[in-house]
Amino acid sequence: MKNILYATSEAVPFIKTGGLADVAGTLPKCFDKKYFDIRVILPKYACMKQEWKDRMEYVTHFYMDLGNKNCYVGILQMEYDGIKFYFIDNEFYFSGNSPYDSAPWDLEKFAFFSKAVLSVLPVIGFRPEIIHCHDWQTGLIPVYLHDSFQQNEFFWNIKTIMTIHNLKFQGTWNVDTVREITGLSDYYFTSDKLEAYRDGNFLKGGMVFADAITTVSNTYAEEIKTPFYGEGLSGLLNARSNSLRGIVNGIDYDAFNPETDPLIAQNFSIENFKENKVKNKIQLQKELGLEENPDAMLIGIVSRLTDQKGFDLIAYIMDELCQDNIQLAILGTGEDRYENMFRHFDWKYHGKVSAQIYYDEALSHRIYASCDAFLMPSLFEPCGLSQLMSLRYGTLPIVRETGGLKDTVEPYNKYEGTGTGFSFRNYNAHEMLGTIRNAERVYYDQREEWNKMIERAMQADFSWGNSARQYEEMYNWMIGE
């Protein structure tokens, strides 16, 4: 049996702000239990739903040094869907109404978490062969493991993987503060280790000290070796390119299943989507105050509202786009400027544009199921899960060819009769508008072709199977079998 520990700052169903939670909460279920014992560890946040907190079972607690503080480390556990989850409890660090706040507080919080993850292992008697770390919040695990934990035989030869879900977030602050927070010695704060551009950098530490680095699509694995996508770390990624690989994300095909999804108005399948998918659209138009018109092409957006997602392009052509016979349903939260932009267009084009500025899991399913197309013109996109969810519900993605969007959406080719969506290359608003209008033409004038694309989209397989096998191979190889 091979023991693997996933260390993450979020995981469904307990806490989620983005796709990382989907990955960390659903990928562990997809390994062969005969060979792999995969467990997940995350913080116990005060903002988790009470129903989850009530189900956690207290294991034990102890005290741990961090910098010049002595901190309480509580351990709770819960088995969910066949997977054992551990939760680190500390009310000082994990209070607040969201998992993240701002630097340097978040750095201290996740330095604590990273050191605690290692410290609890001998206490719970679980010795992983591999600790699989996700994003900057867990970047210090490979560093601490390399440091004082080597004094304890228990930790010898534990391997680490650093998975980059988003290189933009690295967890940085000035070196002096980071040294003080982490308690790491000067040795670690040179430019070949944690220091980058005069800051201490958690993710860089993880990338330097981990045995392997992965990211969530092949294209993003290539892109981040270039300065444009490399966020200042492309040099290091090139230097470590032999240890870097891309494994594309999947989604949970049981939770996102148009035939059984209890959250949508009308279930449908590849056999009956022509009659039944549109019933969802009519319901959604009613729900969102859009003009009730089964023939209008409805375009969906479900997203964190940040500049990563390409909303500047949308802002630029929104007035032009709204002259067309289309409707837009937007669900998202994030930066004020984008929230306000969509609120403004909702007001200006009422009945045609509907902006729902909040987080709502059930509504997200209804949008994936009900729309004709899904717009995701990201500036960069490590993988992207929303386009996979859309494909699953026969909602054709319109995307920019970057990162995982490029690897998962096959552009429509009218000559060969192939493709599952529409895509454009450059980060240019009119190139995007041209592509949306191509999609409109196929939708309005060649419905047969459109329906064939829906069939291909619904048949595409982005369940976890393939990717989980690639992770298994990597785990086996690292463990030496």
Rounded to a whole number of angstroms, the minimum distance from the CB of residue 384 to ligand ADP is 4
Q: What residue 386 binds from ligand GLC, ligand ADP, none (CB within 5 to 8 A, per partner kind)?
A: ligand ADP
Contact in structure between 127 and 3 (CB atoms under 8 Å): yes
Radius of gyration of the chain (CA): 23
Q: What residue 361 binds from ligand ADP, ligand GLC, none (CB within 5 to 8 A, per partner kind)?
A: ligand ADP
Tell me which of 5, 7, 23, 184 binds ligand GLC, using CB under 6 A.
23
Q: How far apart (Å, rounded) are the C-alpha atoms in residues 155 and 127?
A: 8
Is residue 18 a contact residue for ligand ADP (CB under 6 A)?
Answer: yes
Is residue 419 a contact residue for ligand ADP (CB under 6 A)?
Answer: no
On the CB side of 475, how many CA atoms lie within 13 Å of its CA?
24
Nearest in space to 432 (alpha carbons), one of 340, 314, 350: 314
Residue 263 token pair:
């959250």
Query: Which 44-63 residues touch ligand GLC, going by CB under 6 A?
Result: none
Q: How far is CA 160 from CA 9, 114, 194, in A?
A: 16, 13, 17
Q: Which residue is at the shortest CB distance from ligand GLC?
A: 19
Is residue 250 a contact residue for ligand GLC (CB under 6 A)?
Answer: no
Residue closer to ligand GLC, measured from CB, 299 or 383: 383
Q: How far apart (Å, rounded) are the C-alpha atoms in residues 336 and 291?
A: 27
Tell me which of 383, 396, 429, 468 binds ligand GLC, using CB under 6 A.
383
Q: Which residue is at the shortest CB distance from ligand ADP?
A: 19
Q: What residue 435 binds from ligand ADP, ligand GLC, none (CB within 5 to 8 A, per partner kind)?
A: none
- Go through 278-288 and write b for each residue having 16 or more CB atoms within 10 A of its CB, e for each that does not: bbbbbbbbeeb
Please, what is the angle between helix 175-182 and helix 105-124, to 10°? 30
Query: Which 314-333 residues touch ligand ADP, going by CB under 6 A?
Result: 331-333
Stretch that binds ligand GLC, among 12-20, 30-38, 110-118, 250-258 (CB under 6 A): 12-20
Q: How far is CA 277 from CA 6, 48, 272, 369, 370, in A?
A: 37, 34, 8, 7, 6
Helices marked H in 194-302 — which ranges? Answer: 202-209, 218-223, 227-230, 234-239, 273-288
Q: What residue 334 binds from ligand ADP, ligand GLC, none (CB within 5 to 8 A, per partner kind)?
A: none
Tell me which of 109, 165, 365, 392 binds ligand GLC, using CB under 6 A.
165
Q: How many residues does the chain have?
A: 481
Tokens 């997809």 -> residue: 30
Nearest in space to 369 (alpha carbons), one of 397, 400, 393, 349: 393
Rounded to a whole number of angstroms, the minimum distance from the CB of residue 277 to ligand GLC is 25
Contact in structure between 309 and 376 (CB atoms under 8 Å): yes
SS3 423: strand
Query: Which 30-69 residues touch ligand ADP, going by CB under 6 A?
Result: none
CA 32, chain centre distance (Å):
23
Is residue 170 a contact residue for ligand GLC (CB under 6 A)?
Answer: no
Residue closer to ligand ADP, measured from CB, 135 or 199: 135
Residue closer to ligand GLC, measured from CB, 146 or 168: 168
Binding map of ligand ADP across residues 339-378, x = CB under 6 A, - = no contact: --------------------xxx--x--------------
Tell me which of 4, 302, 371, 379 binds ligand ADP, using CB under 6 A.
302
Tell me which of 114, 119, 137, 166 binds ligand GLC, using CB under 6 A.
166
Per-position DSSP letters for 107-158, written without gaps between them: HHHHHHHHHHHHHHHHHHT---SEEEEESGGGTHHHHHHHTGGGGSGGGTT-
Q: What residue 293 binds from ligand ADP, ligand GLC, none (CB within 5 to 8 A, per partner kind)?
A: none
Q: What residue 390 binds from ligand GLC, ligand ADP, none (CB within 5 to 8 A, per partner kind)?
A: none
Residue 286 token pair:
């009613």
Nearest in space to 432 (alpha carbons), one of 350, 347, 321: 321
Stretch that binds ligand GLC, among 80-88, 115-123, 124-132, 375-383 (CB under 6 A): 375-383
Nearest in space to 384 (alpha carbons), one of 400, 363, 360, 367: 400
Judge residue 49's burial from the number of C-beta atoms within 10 Å of its C-beta, 0-12 exposed, 13-18 middle, 19 or more buried: exposed
Contact in structure between 49 and 16 (CB atoms under 8 Å): no
Stretch that binds ligand GLC, among 17-25, 321-329, 365-373, 448-456 (CB under 6 A): 17-25
Q: What residue 360 binds from ligand ADP, ligand GLC, none (CB within 5 to 8 A, per partner kind)?
A: ligand ADP
Judge residue 54's burial from the number of C-beta atoms within 10 Å of its C-beta, 0-12 exposed, 13-18 middle, 19 or more buried: exposed
Query: Which 254-293 residues touch ligand ADP, going by CB under 6 A?
Result: none
Rounded to a whole number of angstroms, the minimum distance from the CB of residue 280 to ligand GLC is 24
**Residue ranges in contact with ligand ADP by CB under 6 A:** 18-19, 22, 302-304, 331-333, 359-361, 364, 383-386
**Residue ranges in contact with ligand GLC by CB under 6 A:** 18-20, 23, 165-166, 216, 249, 381-385, 404
